[in-house]
Each structure stands twice: as C-alpha cells, then as structure tokens.
Structure 1
Amino acid sequence: MTPTVLRGTALALASAALAVLPAVPAQADALRAQQWALQAVHAQQAWHTTKGEGVTVAVLDTGVDANHPDLEGQVEPERDLVGFGAGPGDPSWARHGTGMASIIAGHGHGAGRQDGVLGLAPEARILPVRVILEDNDSERERARTEKAGALADGIRWAADHGADVINMSLGDDSESAHPEPREDAAIQYALGKGIPVVASAGNGGEKGNRVSYPAAYPGVITATAVTHLGGRARFSTRHWYATVSAPGNDIIMADPEDDYLSGWGTSPAAAFVSGAIALIRSAHPDLSPAQIRRLLTSTAQDSPEGGRDDDYGAGLIDPAAALRAAADLRPTPQKPSPAAFADRYFGPGPTADDTADTATPWLPWTAGAAGLALLAAAAVLWRNRPHPHGNRPR
C-alpha cells in the first residue's frame, strides 16, 4: 500500500503543519535505523554526560498519550486548558503532542528498551499542557475563538508547575498573525523565572514566509529545520528570529495507540532543541536562559558565514559540544524579565533604515551649545558691568 501524506493546515495557535504517514512495522532495527537525527546532533556523545535526568520539559501542544510504551512512566498528569475536542481513542487526539514528547524524551520499550523510539533526552520527564487541538479536530474552530488565551495561560501554568524547559512546537504564521501582549508577557514571565522557552520557526518557507508567533517574541529560542543532508528544509520559515537549526524532515516519532509516524516540520526541530536544552539543564541546572542560548549558538555545527543567517540561525545544534563548553561556565544571576519589544519590532524586523535608533540625538548637543552661549554672554556682561568707583576691572 502506498503511504498517504496528510498535510496539516495553518491556523492561529495551531501546531506547525506536520505531515504524517504510516511508519514501517514497529521493529527495533527498522525504527532505530531511521532515527538519523540522533546521529546528526551527536546524541551518543552527549549521553556520556547525561540523558536528561532530573529535568521536566513542558510540552504545550495537543496533549500527550502517557500510555504509549515509549513514554510510559515519563509523563506527568496533563493540564488541559482547552476542555473539549477529541479524546483518547479518537484519530485526532494527541497525535502531534505525543510525537513531540517522544522526540524529546522517548525511552523505547521492551527488553533493554531496544524497541521503539529514542528521544534526545530519554530520561527527562514530560509535563503535557493541552493548549491547542489537532488540525483535523472537529472542534478546532471553536477552540480558536473560545480558547484564544490558552497558550499564554499554558506558559504561565507550566512555569509555575515545575517546568525546566518549555517547548512550543506550534505557531501562527497566517496572514492575520500578530503579537499578542498576553503571550509576550507570559514568555517574559517564564524567562524571568529562569526557564528557557523554545518555539518552531514556522512552515511557511514556500508559502509566503510570513512571521510566526510565538517564534518572533523576544527571548524565544527559535528552531528552523534541516534535512538529513544538512540543507535547509524548503518549508522552513526564514526570518531574523532564527536561533539555531535542528532535524525536521523524515523524523520518526511515537503516535497514540502504540503506533509510530514519520513526519516533517519545524515542530520536530523545536522538540530536538528542547531535548538539547534538557540535557544542558540536567548537567548544569543553574545556567540562565541567556547562557543556554549562547551555548547553543556558540557550539552549533556548520555555522553560516558571518555566524548566523535566517535559514539556519547559528547552525545545527550540537548538545555534546554545548555540554563540553558548559563545563567552563559559571552561572550568572538571573536578571529581571526583559522588557517586551515595541510593536514595530514585529513585522519585517530590524532594517538598515531604522536610523532613529542609531542617529546621534540632537537635543543634548543643542542644549549644550545654548548653555555655552549663555555662559559666554554672562562673562561679557560681568566684564562690562559698571564699577562702584567708575573704573572697569583690569
């Protein structure tokens, strides 16, 4: 039978489109042989240091199947901020979220856990927060209108309930996409508590390449997608907010009901970045989000000319190299939450025409010149003032 590819549709606060197809039979050698991404990011080398133990990754998504054998025992009780839509057993339930959770923390199953899917941080825990519905859920449109604030609420809830990393393999890159103050503030709240926040760059590389949110909010670590050949995936959105790249094509992941999928998107790329951060936080729990961001960018593989570009950010993540570099770091005190950018930051991004931010202000110089003129005039008046005895000072 020829596999059928199902393409997701873009919508506000929905998962970045994820194509899925029936995986090959769930045999250990068949599945593991297809997990090219783990080799690409040097997972085995990183696992000599840590596999993510002690770290909880919040997956803000469509829900997670905690009973999947590759995730069993790793998933915390779910927080559902939608409250309706598909449930367990329905074909449109928790497919996307389960896949992302398995990329982050799948641990396989069976004797020696040789079967199934391995995540990048297989000993991390997953905190599922249901903030969106699957693209094919019959209640999707209702969720868009009635639960528009679920993402912002989910970020804050995760930050207050034990998340060490927040993964958002989702976004809005529609024509009407725009920054939401509540979401921006929620992200700054999480960052202020020392929690790195990750998002997918968007899948609009061939469909308008529009700005995607939450990827474009300040402080977010944003992932673009690469293929197994190391090139940019054609669907991957290209913008100034790209931080790093990660595998995002032909990615094997868990599916509810003990099944597996092969998919693409910047969604799995973001999940790999969150897995890499989970490894770093496991070994170095006191590093700030800013330090972790610098570790990812300074140790990235295949760094573009000039250090970064909109296609790859700083390059392909290398958690093994980041862990080595982190050994020489001292934690920096967590600074207050950064102020949100003004609205004009969103849209085309900083350009060479933004001279207002770099031009020398005229007011201080004008005021200074006026002050000097007044001083000079005062000096002349002082010298020419009438002397008590009719004489001028010599």
Structure 2
Amino acid sequence: MSRLLVPVLVAALVVGIAPASASDDVSFDDVGEAARAGQWQLAAMRLPEAWRSSKGEGAVVAVLDTGVNCCHPDLRGAVVQGPDLTGAAKGLWGWHGTAMASLIAGRGHGDERKGGVIGVAPAARVLSIRVTLENGDPLRVQQRSGGHDALARGIRYAVDHGADVISMSLGGGSGAWEGSASEEEAVKYAIDKGAVLVASSGNDGESANRKNFPAAYPGVIAVGAVDRSLDVTRFSNRQDYLSVVAPGTEIVTADGDDSYVMSDGTSSAAAMVAGIAALIKSAHPDMSPYDVRTAIELGTRKRPANGHSAAYGHGVADALLALREADRLDVPAPRLAGPGPYPGDGPPPVSRGPVVAGMVVLVAAMSAHVLVRHRKRRR
C-alpha cells in the first residue's frame, strides 16, 4: 500500500534522474540510463548471475496494490489487467502499484533494453489487481464499502487466475494492525493451491513497530528493508515472523507514464523478494510455497548468528543463492529400475522359472528345519 512507500525525491536530481519533460536537453533515453545506473540492488542481490539460470519465464506475479500502469515503457507487454476491487473507480490511480510492478518484472527499454528499470524477474508477467487506494488519495479516508475485504478477494482472484506468486507491498485490507479472518482464510487458500505470498513488514520500526498484516499471517514471506551497506534501516519493522530483508532505500522505480521516482520503504524490498520467488517458480514450477520460502531463507547473506533475528529475519535476500538452494531442495525422488531392456529402464528382466523353483526349495528346507526343532522340544 502507498503508505509503505516513503518518497524521497521525485525528480531525484541528486542521482541525475529527472522527468523526461524537464528539459529539452534531457531525452527520455538519458533519463532511462540514469534510472538503470541507480539500481544498486541489481549487484547487491547478484541478479546478473542469477539470470543465467532463470529470468522468470512463465511465472505470473499478482501485484495486489493501487493498480499498474501498463503503458510505462518499462512495463509494456508485461502486464495483464485484473479487476478493481476498491469500489472507487475514480481518484488517484496506479503510482505505487506501477512502482512495485517495475521492481518485479520491469523490462527496461531502448537499445537492448539497457535503459529504464529492470525487475528481478524481467521475463515474468504481472497480474494487476487493485485492492487499495493511493496514500494521498482523498477518497482513501472515505473509501466506499465496495472496498470491504478487497485484499481477501484479491488474493482469491489471483489464485483462481493462475498466479504463482502474490506480491503485497501494503499493510491494509480489513484490518491493517489486527488482521481479519477473511484475509487469513484467503492466505491459507492461496498456499493450499500452491501460490507463494510475499508482503512488506511495515515502516514504523523506529516508532510503534506494530504487527503488520498481511505480513504477519502464517505462511506469508514477510520482508524488511536494508540500505546500501546491507544494514537494516531504522524504519523497517522488527518482528519474530520476519522472513528476510532486501534493499529498501534509494530505490529507483517506474512512475506515471514515462518517468521515475526514487523512494525508501519495505514495499520495494517485498516486491524484490516476490521477484526472487518468481525466478524460483519459473525454474521449479511444481515447488511448494514452503520449499520456495525455505530456499529464499536459506539462500541469504549476512545471516544472524543464531539463524534468525527480529531485525534481519534469516538474512539479506540473494537471488543467486536462493536459486541454488531451490535446485538443492528440488531433487527428484530415486527412480526404480524399469521392467524392460529400453534406454533408462534398468537391467533386462530375469526369467521367473528359476526364481520360483528356488523359492519352493527354500520353503521346503525351512519347513523341515521347523519340524526337527519341534520334535526336539517334545523330548
């Protein structure tokens, strides 16, 4: 949800990023190149190495958010538009959702797609489902009743329409701080159907540090944020249910039709981990949500000494290591030798005649032995 995206700079002149219309001397290609140069998470999560194994081909990631603008150059051809479940057709639309979608499946643009934002799983598809309103939208305060249980309904819609991963960079729904039965049931439904759920841990870590839903529901991969030094940020919520942490400061994302924004928040971190889940599901389509989560948690860097902490979870998410763990976990069961002399079917069959005759002799010998023992006991 947009409350978990903390804007730092829209024009981001500090890192050389500006809207394409800001100056006649600045082309959109120049802006795109600056945007790509600002994606420090690509190296931090070892994505170029991970892409040698998987880019998310065939995986579908449902982005439950404020909507996704499929017209942004970095998202063209990557987005399938789902329903608007908010009950508020008007109002601000799609800024936060577009940003998150670009971090998951952004494809970049320009020559060889070297400009713009590239996502963690650039070959994956995004299913956009609008379940909440933008943080600055006046309608948010007076959201219509049509938005009741939008998150729960969005989760079920995503599962029923083929989502492999469900990304929830939000802390809303029917009960942001208490949770709700309908949402928890929807989460269980999704996991039972094989979908991986990922959510942001929250951004009030240095104040209330509240338990945040949907991140706190059992089975959801809760994600906190780290900075460029891979240190946990002050705003990242610290909870026992935290799964992993990922880059969440100075993150460049798509914004609007053809611009970019740089922001802080656990929203971005969660979207990136959803991207890692998509890489794994692409390489291992039948892997269970539990094993995907295990691979992500085991495939981390900067792991806490005791294996888990409320600040780091199981450590800093690493796409390359997570894929390696997934390969290790997804080992096919040993196959029994086949019955015939075909390639891969094992040794040729043994004639049954000698085997049956041998068994008859063995049974007769054992029976005689038993009779002798019985007779000796009677004496």
TM-score, reference length from structure 2: 0.80
How far 1:322 moved relative to its partner? Answer: 1.6
Q: Does 1:259 align with 2:270?
A: no
SS in 1 for 2:242: coil
Structure 1 residue aligned with 2:86, among 78, 82, 90? 82
Give CA deviations for 1:330-363 in whole Å, capped at 9, x if unaligned.
3799xxxxxxxxxxxxxxxxxxxxxxxxxxxxxx
How far 1:36 moved relative to its partner? Answer: 0.4
Q: Which residue of 1 aligns with 2:209?
A: 209
Q: Which residue of 2 aligns with 1:32?
A: 36
Q: Which residue of 2 aligns with 1:45?
A: 49
**1:272–1:191 CA distance, 2 compared to 1 (3 A):** same
1:214-229 correspondence to structure 2 within 5 Å? 214-229=214-229
The letter of the residue matching 1:232 is V
**1:279–1:261 CA distance, 2 compared to 1 (3 A):** same
How far 1:175 moved relative to its partner? Answer: 10
How far 1:29 moved relative to its partner? Answer: 3.4
Q: Which residue of 2 aligns with 1:103?
A: 103
Q: Which residue of 2 aligns with 1:114?
A: 114
Give CA deviations for 1:292-319 in whole Å, capped at 9, x if unaligned.
1111111111101101101110001111
Q: Is the 8 A contact 1:175 1:210 kept in 2?
A: no
Q: Which residue of 2 aligns with 1:134?
A: 134
Distance 1:145 1:309 in 2: 39
SS in 2 for 1:327: helix
How far 1:85 moved relative to its partner? Answer: 4.7
Distance 1:281 1:176 in 2: 29
**1:17–1:110 CA distance, 2 compared to 1 (3 A):** closer
Distance 2:324 2:60 in 1: 22
Give CA deviations for 1:262-317 in whole Å, capped at 9, x if unaligned.
00100000000000000011111111010011111111111011011011100011
1:1-394 correspondence to structure 2 within 5 Å? 15-22=3-10, 23=12, 24-25=17-18, 27=30, 28-86=32-90, 92-143=92-143, 146-172=146-172, 177-330=177-330
Q: Is the 8 A contact 2:250 2:263 kept in 1?
A: yes
Q: Is the 8 A contact 1:251 1:262 kept in 2?
A: yes
Higher share in helix: 2
Q: Structure 1: which 5+ runs fail to align?
A: 1-12, 334-394
SS in 1 for 2:268: helix
Q: Structure 2: which 5+ runs fail to align?
A: 19-27, 334-379
**1:56–1:173 CA distance, 2 compared to 1 (3 A):** closer
**1:137–1:176 CA distance, 2 compared to 1 (3 A):** closer
> 165-174 or 294-303, which moves further after superposition?
165-174
Q: Which residue of 1 aligns with 2:343?
A: none
Q: Is the 8 A contact 1:156 1:189 kept in 2?
A: yes
How far 1:83 moved relative to its partner? Answer: 3.5
SS in 2 for 1:297: helix
Distance 1:109 1:158 in 2: 28
How far 1:77 moved relative to its partner? Answer: 2.0
How far 1:75 moved relative to its partner? Answer: 0.3
Distance 1:76 1:176 in 2: 27
How far 1:174 moved relative to its partner? Answer: 12
Q: Which residue of 2 aligns with 1:386?
A: none
SS in 2 for 1:328: helix
Distance 2:83 2:8 in 1: 25
Q: Is the 8 A contact 2:299 2:323 kept in 1?
A: no
Distance 2:95 2:316 in 1: 26
How far 1:119 moved relative to its partner? Answer: 0.6
Q: CA RMSD in A?
A: 2.0
SS in 2 for 1:209: coil
SS in 1 for 2:134: coil
**1:145–1:305 CA distance, 2 compared to 1 (3 A):** farther
Distance 2:120 2:228 in 1: 16
How far 1:327 moved relative to its partner? Answer: 1.9
**1:34–1:53 CA distance, 2 compared to 1 (3 A):** same
SS in 2 for 1:210: coil
How far 1:147 moved relative to its partner? Answer: 1.4
TM-score, reference length from structure 1: 0.77
Give CA deviations for 1:78-99 in whole Å, capped at 9, x if unaligned.
3111132546xxxx32110000
SS in 2 for 1:293: helix
SS in 1 for 2:138: coil
Q: Percent identity?
A: 48
SS in 2 for 1:306: coil
**1:81–1:209 CA distance, 2 compared to 1 (3 A):** same
Distance 2:200 2:322 in 1: 20
> 272-281 or 133-142, which moves further after superposition?
133-142
The letter of the residue matching 1:39 is A
